[in-house]
Amino acid sequence: MENVSQQSILNSEASETQNKVQKGLAYNSRKRHAIDPSLSSSNSSVQTRRVKLCSDVDGKSPTGSTPIPSANISKVLFTCEAIQQKDGENPEILRAQQPLDLLLSQNQLKLVANSSQTEFDFHVSPLSEDHSSPVKFAFLFGLCAFTASEDGSVHGYDLVSKSLVTKMIHPNTVTWLHATVKNTQKGALKNAKTGRQYMKHLRLITGCEDTYVRQFLFETETEISLNDNECRQAMKMYEKKCSHVSTCVAANKAVAKLYVGTKEGAIFTYNPSFNTIQKTKIQSTREVVFLKICHLREKTCIVVAAKRICPIIYDCETENALLELIPRLPKTTYSCMTFTPNVFYFCDVDKNVVKYDINKEQFWYYSLPSPAINVFIYLKRFLVFGCADGFIRLVDTNRKTTFRILDLPKLPVETISCMKIDRGRIIGGSSDGDVVLIQLPNLELMFKHQSMSAAFC
């Protein structure tokens, strides 16, 4: 009798919650981009969507499961898509036919019911004042974010207020951007409460098609046009002319200088402290698409990827080539990469992902539903792909034999044109000029539930 009573209470709560969802829950898209046209819009500027899981590992409809009451859910529920792909096989796409609640077996009910109601929330916040042309680059640093578009404009945002703080107008298209910390007093960054305060301790460095590398120090909050002498004098800016058009940049905490790739294939270093440029011995025969600094066999190395050439690893100290990666694959253009210890993940322009194990000298070939614009490793475990179709996709690298892809809800943009991740937050830009700030859900807990009793469908 007691079990029957508990079951009826659960069913009643689930039914009540479902009625609430049908009556009033909506997803707010600040422009014309809606996930489901049938949903009405709300006034909230922060969009939250909740992950749905089902208990069957193969993506089929679970049986004998009890719906979890979705109490306090104030946003619309959504359907996830999973792609399961074994090494060397084509992916199997698994889709749900209708929205699902979080479904778990009876013995898992108490565990989830006692968990935080926000563990699986996925927050999307639009930032004020979009670009008027496609956003090409984004960078996230502490309480600040920077974006650059095709028309040469660079925006600096305060992530606390979600507002635009400063704008710089370049004479030509910006080809890359990066931010570093100035020589500032210890603890100054920790004491900053807003993005405006935080930004005053940063250097913003940009590359441009006019061959200049520029460095900005934020002592003003006005719009800066580099074609206007009065504006140039209103802020501290340093520029250095390079002999080639730069295309990309790489840096990390272990390296005080920035490595800059060029259209001609030459690699330069830029020292922000002294505003100096120096050419290295590293040279490619074609345009450099991206650079990535990594640690390999107790050495600080740089990966150089050029158009239709296999990526090559160089020793940063000696500048000698150490290893040509994935030489057995067809010559293609790789757009981005990330890595875990001894394993590299490369994405090309044709939706492919190449996993390369350096120790075993083996590679695996996978496919994505859409080309990856950028990819990052998060918490030393999860692959985070920003794809051109507007989806952020996740893969748990702890799964050694499968390549299961989880689609987070589609962003309120037509496409993703650039993406940067920092501590669970993502800044993304689109070809429409939109800029959004994204907060990832608790991925460890999400994948833990998946491995225990659920699969994404």
Domain boundary among 92, 122, 152: 122
Q: Are residues 243 and 386 in the same domain?
A: yes
Give the model's pLDDT for residue 108.
29
φ/ψ of 82, rounded to 5, equals -120, 145
Give the model's pLDDT for residue 64.
33
Q: Are residues 326 and 191 in the same domain?
A: yes
Based on its alpha-carbon atoms, the radius of gyration of the chain, rounded to whole angstroms, reads: 24
Domain boundary among 55, 88, 122: 122
Give the model's pLDDT for residue 22.
40
Kindly state whether residue 455 falls inside one of the protein's structural domains.
no
pTM: 0.74
Written as one letter, the residue type at 325 is L
Give the model's pLDDT for residue 51.
43
Give the model's pLDDT for residue 406.
86
Give the model's pLDDT for residue 358.
87
Q: Which residues of 134-173 are buried (b: 16+ CB within 10 A; e: fewer)?
A: bbbbbbbbbbbbbbbbbbbbbbbbbbeebebbbbbebeeb
Q: Are residues 96 and 77 in the same domain?
A: yes
Q: Are residues 152 and 66 in the same domain?
A: no
CB 394 within 8 A of CB 80: no
Q: What is the pLDDT along the chain (457 residues), one digit of tens a residue?
A: 444 454 554 455 445 544 433 433 333 333 333 333 333 333 344 454 444 433 233 333 233 333 333 322 222 233 333 334 444 444 433 332 223 233 222 222 222 323 333 456 778 998 988 999 999 999 999 999 999 999 999 999 999 999 999 998 999 999 999 999 987 766 788 889 999 999 989 999 999 999 999 999 887 655 666 666 555 555 578 899 999 999 999 998 767 899 999 999 999 999 998 999 999 999 999 999 999 999 888 899 999 999 998 899 999 999 999 988 877 666 789 999 999 988 999 999 999 999 999 888 888 989 999 999 999 999 999 999 999 999 999 999 988 777 888 888 889 998 999 999 998 999 999 999 999 999 998 888 877 776 654 444 4
**pLDDT tens digits along 390-408:** 999 999 998 877 788 888 8
Q: Are residues 254 and 385 in the same domain?
A: yes
Give the model's pLDDT for residue 91.
41
Kindly state whether residue 392 falls inside one of the protein's structural domains.
yes
Measure the CA–CA gap between 59 and 48, rounded to whole angstroms.
24
Q: Are residues 115 and 157 in the same domain?
A: no
Which run of H or of E encompasses 18?
A: helix 2-24
Give the model's pLDDT for residue 351.
94
Q: Are residues 142 and 261 in the same domain?
A: yes
Kindly state whether residue 454 falls inside one of the protein's structural domains.
no
Q: Are residues 202 and 176 in the same domain?
A: yes
* CA-to-CA separations, 382 to 133, 172, 372, 375, in angstroms, rounded: 32, 36, 15, 10
Q: Are residues 229 and 88 in the same domain?
A: no
CB 326 within 8 A of CB 311: yes
Measure the CA–CA gap between 374 and 11, rounded to whole angstroms.
43
CATH number at residue 336: 2.130.10.10
Q: Are residues 85 and 161 in the same domain?
A: no
Q: Are residues 89 and 115 in the same domain?
A: yes
Domain boundary among 79, 102, 122: 122
CB 151 within 8 A of CB 173: yes
Q: What is the DSSP letter of 434?
A: -
What range does the domain containing 66 cover? 2-122
How many domains would you assign to the chain? 2
Q: Are residues 114 and 167 in the same domain?
A: no
Kindly state whether residue 451 falls inside one of the protein's structural domains.
no
Kindly state whether residue 56 falls inside one of the protein's structural domains.
yes
Q: What is the DSSP letter of 286?
A: S
Kindly state whether residue 450 falls inside one of the protein's structural domains.
no
Kindly state whether residue 372 falls inside one of the protein's structural domains.
yes
Q: Calculate the CA dihedral of residues 85, 90, 96, 97 and round it to 10 degrees.
A: -170
Handedness of CA 445, 446, 447, 448 (dihedral sign): positive
Closest CA to 33 of 126, 156, 151, 143: 126
Kindly state whether residue 135 falls inside one of the protein's structural domains.
yes
